[in-house]
């Protein structure tokens, strides 16, 4: 049987920027989804990459005394090394300066042009150079750019236009007919109002700079950065070649983005695709922003939560856990070192780590570390087993909704139930009487088997921790869907006493 396909993307990150916590957050969410779908038997394509064209890159490179490509090569590596450090399991990393991408963009542009939805015209409006954006006079605030508050200038240029206005009704109809297309719901409503206000034709070429993909047949124009960048989602799959990954994985199942670029993904991109006669992604999900210690992220605050520094200090899995556990995906969140340390100490060191540590230690003490066959199941055991099994469906449902925090919460409820189960069954008392040997063996089995299932699911969120936990539990197979049922641990397995998975952090010393 062929595996079902699943395609998840992050935005491609602009090389005129350094990797920060916002990039890490989007990419991490995509990674958890990709890992989970692989666990569930899907054939997953997980794409990330870098956006390397545009005037800002050209200018920054000139200022740094290098070519735009040299700048891109340098910054791109920073993203790649961060993803490695954060245990990101992407399938492909696309760069918009790669031949495969340039070729695909040219084809896409030509096809839309041939269909008559790109035409040559003249563009005149207020231009913000740093943002590379034209604004209408009504959008300006005191003649300044509404995005960055810098002065704008009136600019006229010959330009190719995309007939976006033509697709207004078709896009609205698509959004109405597909309630899950734009998420969360509040963002969907924003987009509906925006589209209803009327779509203008969009300038899709520039003559004011060179660093981009030349317009086919008219090389004094370069393709507008967003037309270029958005196409990465199909060029990485080999568009226009239908025979390989493009035929298999397009349209994308989930496109994860920050809320600041929703309009490009929920309005521009689908209308480009409609014009090219291509299917539209199933879902675009815009997550919220992070503030830092209660303040809006700024250049100086970015340093405080520089992802490499956080990983060096706390470890990749702790950072992965915190970012997805602390704030519901889709809402804005606040990053504070105090809450990170609190999560590590209470959720990871105490709840998760202690459970593994005390249960494996008990098995060592009472049965020489060899797992025994469970005997008669009591009501208490049954409730614990059922809670563990129910977790599998709960996590699946929450991840379907991209509710990462709720999924982790569901796992942590089983971990708490495990600690409570130990307190209630009191193995240390059972161990005092030889007559309770079978009962003690059963309790040991239940607490360890429940954790095996916890670590299977955790493999999507905290890959290294999951590996370690399963290793202590004597599990040699990689986590898989078939193993998400009760009874995977076999009697006779040798289980080692676990060391602390997450050493407690002394809050005062920080
Ligand atoms: Zn601006």
Distance 135 CA to ligand 1 centre (A): 9
pLDDT for 303: 74
* Residue 509 pLDDT class (50, 70, 90 cuts): low
Mean pLDDT of 416-423: 98
Distance 61 CA to ligand 1 centre (A): 19
* Residue 132 pLDDT class (50, 70, 90 cuts): confident
**Residue 342 neighbours by CB under 8 Å, 6+ apart:** 507
Cβ atoms of 390 and 371 within 8 Å: the answer is no
DSSP reduced 3-state for 49: strand
121, pLDDT greater than 90: yes
Distance 127 CA to ligand 1 centre (A): 8
Distance 147 CA to ligand 1 centre (A): 5
Distance 205 CA to ligand 1 centre (A): 18
Cβ atoms of 204 and 168 within 8 Å: the answer is no
Distance 230 CA to ligand 1 centre (A): 20
Distance 148 CA to ligand 1 centre (A): 4
- Cα separation, 484 vs 439, in Å, equals 25
422, pLDDT greater than 60: yes
Distance 75 CA to ligand 1 centre (A): 23
* Residue 319 pLDDT class (50, 70, 90 cuts): very high
pTM over 0.85? The answer is: yes
Category of 293 on φ-ψ map: left (φ > 0), alpha (ψ -120 to 50) or beta: left
Strands 214-215 and 218-223: antiparallel
| 44 phi/psi in degrees, rounded to 5 | -105, 135
Poorest-pLDDT segment among 206-215, 276-285, 407-416, 480-489: 206-215
344, pLDDT greater than 60: yes
Distance 139 CA to ligand 1 centre (A): 12
Q: How far apart are the first and last CA of the chain?
A: 53
Poorest-pLDDT segment among 101-115, 290-304, 382-396: 290-304
Distance 455 CA to ligand 1 centre (A): 47
pLDDT for 482: 97
214, pLDDT greater than 70: yes
Mean pLDDT of 385-411: 98
Distance 206 CA to ligand 1 centre (A): 17
The proportion of the chain whose per-residue pLDDT surpasses 90, expressed as a percent, equals: 87
Q: Which neighbouring-strand residues pair with 331? A: 329
Distance 176 CA to ligand 1 centre (A): 32
pLDDT for 75: 95
pLDDT for 131: 76
3-state secondary structure 321-339: HHHHHHCCECECEEECHHH
Distance 156 CA to ligand 1 centre (A): 17
pLDDT tens for each residue of 476-507: 999 999 999 999 999 999 999 999 999 999 87
Helix axes 316-326, 463-472, angle to 10 degrees: 110
Distance 54 CA to ligand 1 centre (A): 14
pLDDT tens for each residue of 438-463: 999 999 999 999 999 999 999 999 99
Distance 130 CA to ligand 1 centre (A): 5
* Residue 510 pLDDT class (50, 70, 90 cuts): low
Distance 128 CA to ligand 1 centre (A): 5
Distance 102 CA to ligand 1 centre (A): 27
Distance 153 CA to ligand 1 centre (A): 11
Distance 12 CA to ligand 1 centre (A): 20
* Residue 299 pLDDT class (50, 70, 90 cuts): confident
Distance 152 CA to ligand 1 centre (A): 8
pLDDT for 295: 84
pLDDT for 137: 87
Mean pLDDT of 256-263: 95
Please, what's the b/e burial string for 54-79 (b: 16 or more CB within 10 A of its CB; e: otherwise)?
bbbbbbbbeeeeeebbebbbebbebb
pLDDT for 248: 98
pLDDT tens for each residue of 64-115: 999 999 999 999 999 999 999 999 999 999 999 999 999 999 999 999 999 9
Distance 191 CA to ligand 1 centre (A): 21
508, pLDDT greater than 80: no
Distance 259 CA to ligand 1 centre (A): 17
Distance 146 CA to ligand 1 centre (A): 7
Distance 129 CA to ligand 1 centre (A): 7
Distance 297 CA to ligand 1 centre (A): 18
- Cα separation, 291 vs 22, in Å, equals 10
pLDDT for 296: 81
Q: What is the mean pLDDT of the chain?
A: 95
- Cα separation, 315 vs 161, in Å, equals 48
Distance 84 CA to ligand 1 centre (A): 33
Distance 208 CA to ligand 1 centre (A): 16
CA 75 → CA 49, 247, 305, 479, distances in Å?
Answer: 11, 32, 19, 35
Distance 53 CA to ligand 1 centre (A): 17
DSSP reduced 3-state for 199: coil
Mean pLDDT of 263-283: 98
The closest of 259, 17, 25, 284 to 175, measured between CA atoms, is 284
Of residues 24 and 56, the one with the higher pLDDT is: 24
1, pLDDT greater than 80: no
Distance 155 CA to ligand 1 centre (A): 14
pLDDT for 110: 98
Cα dihedral sign for 7, 203, 120, 151? negative
Longest dimension (CA), the chain: 91
Distance 143 CA to ligand 1 centre (A): 11
The proportion of the chain whose per-residue pLDDT surpasses 70, expressed as a percent, equals: 99
Of residues 207 and 375, the one with the higher pLDDT is: 375
Cβ atoms of 53 and 212 within 8 Å: the answer is yes
Distance 68 CA to ligand 1 centre (A): 21
* Residue 157 pLDDT class (50, 70, 90 cuts): confident
159, pLDDT greater than 60: yes
Distance 131 CA to ligand 1 centre (A): 4
Distance 366 CA to ligand 1 centre (A): 68
């Amino acid at each position: 049987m062929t595996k079902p396909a699943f395609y998840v993307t992050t935005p491609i990150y602009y090389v005129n920027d350094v990797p920060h916590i916002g990039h890490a957050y989007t990419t991490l969410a995509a990674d958890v989804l990709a890992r989970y779908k692989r666990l569930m038997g899907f054939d997953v394509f997980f794409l990330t990459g870098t956006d390397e064209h545009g005037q800002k890159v050209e200018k920054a490179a000139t200022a740094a005394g290098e070519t735009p490509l040299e700048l891109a090569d340098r910054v791109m590596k920073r993203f790649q090394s961060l993803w490695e450090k954060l245990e990101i399991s992407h399938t492909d990393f696309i760069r918009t300066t790669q031949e495969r991408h340039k070729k695909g963009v040219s084809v896409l542009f030509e096809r839309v042009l041939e269909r008559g939805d790109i035409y040559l015209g003249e563009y005149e409006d207020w231009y913000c150079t740093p943002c590379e954006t034209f604004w209408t006079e009504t959008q300006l605030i005191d003649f300044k750019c509404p995005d960055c508050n810098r002065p704008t200038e009136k600019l006229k240029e010959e330009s190719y236009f995309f007939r976006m206005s033509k697709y207004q009704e078709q896009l609205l109809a698509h959004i109405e007919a597909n309630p899950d297309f734009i998420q969360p719901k509040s963002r969907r409503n924003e987009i509906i109002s925006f589209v209803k206000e009327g779509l203008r034709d969009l300038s899709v070429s520039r003559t004011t700079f060179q660093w981009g993909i030349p317009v086919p047949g008219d090389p004094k124009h370069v393709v507008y950065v967003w037309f270029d960048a958005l196409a990465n989602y199909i060029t990485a799959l080999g568009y226009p070649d239908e025979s390989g990954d493009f035929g298999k994985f397009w349209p994308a199942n989930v496109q994860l983005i920050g809320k600041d670029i929703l309009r490009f993904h929920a309005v521009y991109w689908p209308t480009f695709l409609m014009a090219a006669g291509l299917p539209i992604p199933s879902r675009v999900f815009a997550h919220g922003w992070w503030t830092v210690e209660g303040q809006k992220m700024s250049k100086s605050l970015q340093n405080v939560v520089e992802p490499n520094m956080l990983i060096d200090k706390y470890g990749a899995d702790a950072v992965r856990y915190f970012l997805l556990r602390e704030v519901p995906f889709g809402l804005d969140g606040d990053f504070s070192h105090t809450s990170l340390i609190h999560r590590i100490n209470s959720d990871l060191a105490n709840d998760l780590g202690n459970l593994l540590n005390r249960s494996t230690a008990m098995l060592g003490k009472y049965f020489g570390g060899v797992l025994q066959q469970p005997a008669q199941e009591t009501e208490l055991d049954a409730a614990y087993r059922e809670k563990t099994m129910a977790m599998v469906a709960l996590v699946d449902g929450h991840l379907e909704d991209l509710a990462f925090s709720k999924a982790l919460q569901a796992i942590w409820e089983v971990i708490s139930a495990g600690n409570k189960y130990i307190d209630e069954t009191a193995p240390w008392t059972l161990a005092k009487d030889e007559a309770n040997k079978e009962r003690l063996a059963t309790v040991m089995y239940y607490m360890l088997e429940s954790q095996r299932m916890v670590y299977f699911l955790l493999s999507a969120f905290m890959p290294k921790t999951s590996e370690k936990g399963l290793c202590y539990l004597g599990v040699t197979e990689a986590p898989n869907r078939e193993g998400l049922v009760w009874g995977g641990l076999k009697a006779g397995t040798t289980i080692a006493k676990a060391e602390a998975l997450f050493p407690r952090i002394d809050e005062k010393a920080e």
